[in-house]
Amino acid sequence: MAKESRRVAILEAASSIVSEKGIFNLTLEAVAKEAGISKGGLLYHFPSKEALVQGMVEHLAHNYRSKIARNVEDDPLDRGKWTRAFLNVTFNQGYPNKDMHAGLLAAKAVNPKLMLPLYQAYEEWQTNIENDGLDPIDATIIRLATDGIWLAELLELYNIDDQKKKAVYKRLHEWIQDLYLDAEKKKKEEN
Amino acid sequence: MAKESRRVAILEAASSIVSEKGIFNLTLEAVAKEAGISKGGLLYHFPSKEALVQGMVEHLAHNYRSKIARNVEDDPLDRGKWTRAFLNVTFNQGYPNKDMHAGLLAAKAVNPKLMLPLYQAYEEWQTNIENDGLDPIDATIIRLATDGIWLAELLELYNIDDQKKKAVYKRLHEWIQDLYLDAEKKKKEEN
DNA sequence: GTTACTATACTATCTGGACGGTATAGAATT
DNA sequence: AATTCTATACCGTCCAGATAGTATAGTAAC
């Protein structure tokens, strides 16, 4: 198999184990078995467990980051584009394999420093959301609520049924539109 | 030492280890050392690691639950009391030892079923918040944003500085007041 | 165009250390 | 006398990482 696709397959196997069986079952042997290769083969791609987890986080961060960047680029409107992108990607364009989020849990458990790529991504998004041309506190609240959803799902802290989730999304989306109109109105008044 | 306070001291020691050194360093020996007792003494109070983690979650859930219940009781207003209590406890009355939240991480890692007490607490709060006499979707968004704050802190996913955090709290609090007035107005119009 | 060599991508196996849990004997506290 | 421990030793299991060997593909010298 080609190197890159094998790497991704391994990362997905590892994420699936963390997500379904917990971090204590993330052993190199288990990952190798899940990915359909030998333990040695796994160590060829990722020379240590830490390297494997690092790969998981980097993959996750890169995926999320590029999706949000894409949304920002494609947005016909400037004002509010980061807030909209963050909301839209989190609710509607999450990693097809939901398990991928488990990379965060793995990093937190194995070595918190490995979370750096995600941490940096969040710093970037937060800065952009605060300078998105909308009220920065309201925009931050929208981001926090969005995080609340996916973090609670990651930890399986509670179930929010799909209908309610959609209603929340709709309301947040409308709120962004209101903030947009407020800001535009204010701008006109200033001129 | 009295049995109950020894138990709590052990739970705090365990939480502190998870919070500062990660779940892989939560060994029975390490907890005993941190709590200043022997391994045998620890096993006297908690006959297994799973029992220890169960104790951590139950303690956390009980603490949170009783604080929210207290806030609800003390609230002079009926409408919105659960939403206010949830917001206020999470922002201003968290466990004095912040580490206690780590019980959630420990349970997620050791055995997700141990999260049941917290899961049930959340179900109760969500039900109450939806029937709090405010717009249920807006109230849910307030809860989600609140969760976003403490979950991100738990995972150390990003830093939100204290000033911004206070501004967010203030805005959420004002929002609840607006929702209160909206609901009261609507009620009067109906009569 | 076959032989020799090299790099890549693995497999199979072993080892050393750590950890959970058990056991036991006894000491201090209440 | 019962409870609440301390101290220590031990067993079985598990796992990360190391090591050595294998398969395959390409490359290049002759």
pLDDT at A19: 92
Q: Which two tokens stand for residue A173?
A: 């989306």
Contact in structure between B71 and B31 (CB atoms under 8 Å): no
Between these two residues, B189 and B1, which has the higher pLDDT value? B189
Q: What distance lies between CA A114 and its chain's CA centroid?
A: 15
- Looking at the predicted structure, is the pLDDT value of residue B2 above 70? no
| Spatial distance between the Cα atoms of A157 and A63, rounded to a whole number of angstroms | 24
Residue A21 in any domain: the answer is: no
Give the pLDDT band of residue B3 (cuts 50, 70, 90): low
Domain total in chain B: 1
| Spatial distance between the Cα atoms of A14 and A23, rounded to a whole number of angstroms | 10
- Looking at the predicted structure, is the pLDDT value of residue B98 above 90? no
Any idea what the CATH number is for the domain that residue B101 is in? 1.10.357.10
pLDDT at B97: 63
CA distance from start to end of chain A: 62
Chain A residue set in contact with B, beta carbons under 8 Å: 22-24, 104-105, 108-112, 115, 118-119, 122-123, 126, 137-138, 140-141, 143-149, 151-152, 155-158, 160, 164, 167-168, 171-172
* Predicted confidence (pLDDT) per residue in A110-123, tens digit: 999 999 999 999 99
* Predicted confidence (pLDDT) per residue in B34-86, tens digit: 888 888 889 888 989 999 999 999 999 999 999 999 999 999 999 999 999 99
| Nearest nucleotide, CA B1 to C1' | D4
> A22 and B108 in contact by Cβ < 8 A?
yes
| Spatial distance between the Cα atoms of A126 and A132, rounded to a whole number of angstroms | 10
Distances (CA, A) of A10 to A1, A64, A83, A118, B187: 12, 19, 33, 20, 58
Backbone angles phi, psi at A156, to 5 degrees: 50, 45
pLDDT at B168: 97
pLDDT at A38: 85
User: Span B122-147, mean pLDDT?
Assistant: 97
- Amino acid present at A50: E
Between these two residues, B159 and B79, which has the higher pLDDT value? B79
Residue A152 in any domain: the answer is: yes
In a structure prediction context, what are the per-residue pLDDT tens digits for chain A, which is 191 residues long?
Answer: 566 778 888 999 999 999 999 999 999 989 998 998 988 889 989 989 999 999 999 999 999 999 999 999 999 999 999 999 999 999 998 766 677 789 999 999 999 999 999 999 999 999 999 999 999 999 999 999 999 999 999 999 988 999 999 999 999 999 999 999 999 999 888 87
Residue A183 in any domain: the answer is: yes
Q: Which residues span the domain enclosing A136?
A: 56-190
With CA atoms as reference, report the closest residue to B152 among B171, B130, B168, B131. Answer: B168
Q: Which two tokens stand for residue B68?
A: 């929210």
| Nearest nucleotide, CA B41 to C1' | D5
Residue A31 in any domain: the answer is: no
Helices (H), B38-161: 39-45, 49-74, 81-92, 102-110, 116-130, 136-155
How many residue contacts between A and B have a Cβ separation below 8 Å? 116
The residue with tokens 């929702």 is: B179
Residue A10 in any domain: the answer is: no
In the predicted model, what is the mean pLDDT of chain A?
Answer: 92
pLDDT at A159: 86
pLDDT at A176: 98
Nearest CA in chain A to B123: A158
Tell me which protein residue sits closest to nucleotide D3, measuring alpha carbon to C1'.
B3
A6: CB within 7 A of chain C nucleic strand: yes
Nearest CA in chain A to B105: A155
